[in-house]
């Protein structure tokens, strides 16, 4: 069944676990993503980032996606998640990741998203509160959950933490939650987005603990979210590079730290990069083990893109040649079906 994000996250608080939230970058990923969660009898949070909605709306240069593109993409992924999630025995939420503005959130909701993130983390505190409140009012009236963000994701580079001022202040977080009534809040406590988080990144779990303790003390529910939580499995990086890729300095968050974070009040753990790496590896393997596909009329161009863009691991860099399948899940020939299996 399709549910708002809050329903899935409230359960984590009672049972003291954290829920993974996995990004989709192509409509064709929805079916398998839901099936895998069903196998584990786990609830599912699938999330499409703002620009991913643009891509799933057919915009190959998704960095320039317009609101119109995002509307089409939200509808496409919304339809697919409805198709495979509605009659599923597990709860499924479709969540907008890093919504940039109110209009992006509205487009997601219109397309069938059951939850939206409004990312006002780059705004001054009071403006972030104002924007988030507006979105909360609109979304809650429609039974849709809201995630917001406070603090700028700090990174670790060359084994040294960047400026501490970007970490979330727990007291600010509690004030923010009280004033906005958000269902979930992304905090900055040492994670960062992407595949280059630095070796041995260490999470400042006391930030999560202090925030959660205050919320529990005041009897307020709000799920704390860990963004930038990919583990960047070294064996996948190695496999990509052995197949001709060039991914350097790629390190993630250790799994043990994420497990610890779950015990410290983190309820939602966001993963995108790991899936992108795995998809890239899968596609490279496909062309390696089935070299005849390198000259396929429908997907040969994907092989040439993989060969040319050695440092890339964003599937969106390789998928434009099969855009109709990415958008609408129509799989016209066997070769295209083989690529869809990779994603």
Residues whose CB is less than 8 angstroms from the CB of residue 51 and which lie 6 or more positions away in sequence, other chains included: 62, 63, 65
Comparison of 198 and 321: residue with beta carbon closer to ligand 13P = 198
| Binding segment toward ligand G3H, per CB under 6 A, in 44-52, 81-89, 138-146, 288-296 | 44-52
Q: Residue 16: left (phi > 0), alpha (psi -120 to 50), or beta?
A: left
String marking each residue 271-310 x if it binds ligand 13P according to CB under 6 A:
xxxx------------------------------------
Return the residue of 194, 233, 300, 320 that touches ligand 13P, per CB under 6 A: 194
What is the C-alpha radius of gyration for the chain, rounded to an integer number of angstroms?
A: 20
Return the residue of 50, 97, 239, 335 that touches ligand 13P, per CB under 6 A: 97
Measured from the CB of residue 96, what is the shortest distance to Zn ion in angstroms? 11
Other C-beta atoms closer than 10 Å to the C-beta of 230 total 27
Residues whose CB is less than 8 angstroms from the CB of residue 128 and which lie 6 or more positions away in sequence, other chains included: 120, 121, 148, 150, 176
Catalytic residue among 97, 183, 274, 335: 97
Comparison of 149 and 335: residue with beta carbon closer to ligand 13P = 149
| Binding segment toward ligand 13P, per CB under 6 A, in 2-10, 24-32, 201-209, 227-235 | 227-235
User: Residue 30: helix, strand or coil by DSSP?
Assistant: helix
Active site residue 330: no
Cα–Cα separations (whole angstroms), residue 59 to 55, 104, 141, 323: 5, 15, 31, 9
Return the residue of 28, 58, 78, 97 that touches ligand G3H, per CB under 6 A: 97
Return the residue of 204, 227, 281, 316 that touches Zn ion, per CB under 5 A: 227
Number of shown-chain residues binding ligand G3H (CB under 6 A): 9
Measured from the CB of residue 96, what is the shortest distance to ligand G3H in angstroms? 11
Tokens of 194: 């992407």
Q: At what angle do helices 334-342 and 273-289 cross, to 10 degrees?
A: 140
Does 53 engage in binding with ligand 13P (CB under 6 A)? no
| Binding segment toward Na ion, per CB under 5 A, in 56-64, 68-76, 96-104, 253-261 | 96-104
Tokens of 231: 């583990």
Distance (Å, rounded) from C-alpha 148 to C-alpha 135?
10
Comparison of 12 and 23: residue with beta carbon closer to ligand 13P = 23
Measured from the CB of residue 116, what is the shortest distance to Na ion in angstroms? 9
Return the residue of 8, 27, 52, 299 that touches ligand G3H, per CB under 6 A: 52
Q: Are 77 and 27 in contact (CB under 8 A)?
A: yes
Measured from the CB of residue 52, what is the shortest distance to ligand G3H in angstroms? 4
Q: Please write down the HEC assignment for all residues of 91-102.
A: CEEEEEEEECCH
Distance (Å, rounded) from C-alpha 273 to C-alpha 139?
28
Angle, CA of 135, 215 and 230, to the nearest 5°: 70
Distance (Å, rounded) from C-alpha 213 to C-alpha 154?
22
Comparison of 211 and 273: residue with beta carbon closer to ligand 13P = 273
**Which residues are at the interface with Zn ion (CB under 5 A)?**
227
**Which residues are at the interface with ligand G3H (CB under 6 A)?**
23, 49, 51-52, 97-98, 193, 227, 272
Annotated catalytic sites, by residue?
97
């Amino acid at each position: 069944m399709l549910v708002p994000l809050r329903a899935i996250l409230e359960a984590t608080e009672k049972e003291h676990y954290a829920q993974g939230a996995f990004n989709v970058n192509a409509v064709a990923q929805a079916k398998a993503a839901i099936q895998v969660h069903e196998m584990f009898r786990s609830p599912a949070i699938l999330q499409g980032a703002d620009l991913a909605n643009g891509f799933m709306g057919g915009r190959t240069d998704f960095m320039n996606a317009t609101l119109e593109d995002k509307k089409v993409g939200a509808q496409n992924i919304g339809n697919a998640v409805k198709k495979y999630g509605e009659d599923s025995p597990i709860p499924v939420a479709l969540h907008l990741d890093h919504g940039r503005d109110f209009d992006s959130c509205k487009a997601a909701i219109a397309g069938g998203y059951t939850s939206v993130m409004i990312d006002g983390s780059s705004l001054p505190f009071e403006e972030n509160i104002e924007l988030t409140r507006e979105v909360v009012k609109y979304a809650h009236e429609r039974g849709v959950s809201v995630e917001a963000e406070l603090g700028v994701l700090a990174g670790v580079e060359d084994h040294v933490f960047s400026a501490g001022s970007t970490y979330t202040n727990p007291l600010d977080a509690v004030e923010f939650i009280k004033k906005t009534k958000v269902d979930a809040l992304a905090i900055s406590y040492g994670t960062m987005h992407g595949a280059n988080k630095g070796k041995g990144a260490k999470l400042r779990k006391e930030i999560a603990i202090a925030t959660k303790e205050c919320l529990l003390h005041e009897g307020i529910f709000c799920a704390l979210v860990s963004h930038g939580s990919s583990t960047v499995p070294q064996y996948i990086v190695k496999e990509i590079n052995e197949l001709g890729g060039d991914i350097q300095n790629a390190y993630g968050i250790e799994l043990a730290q994420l497990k610890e974070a779950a015990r410290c009040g983190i309820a939602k753990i966001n993963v995108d990069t790991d899936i992108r790496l795995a998809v890239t590896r899968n596609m490279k393997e496909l062309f390696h083990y089935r070299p005849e596909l390198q000259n396929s009329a429908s997907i040969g161009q994907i092989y040439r893109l993989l060969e040319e863009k050695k440092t890339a691991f964003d599937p969106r860099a390789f998928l434009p040649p099969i855009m109709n399948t990415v958008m609408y899940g129509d799989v016209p020939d066997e070769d295209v079906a083989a690529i869809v299996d990779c994603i």
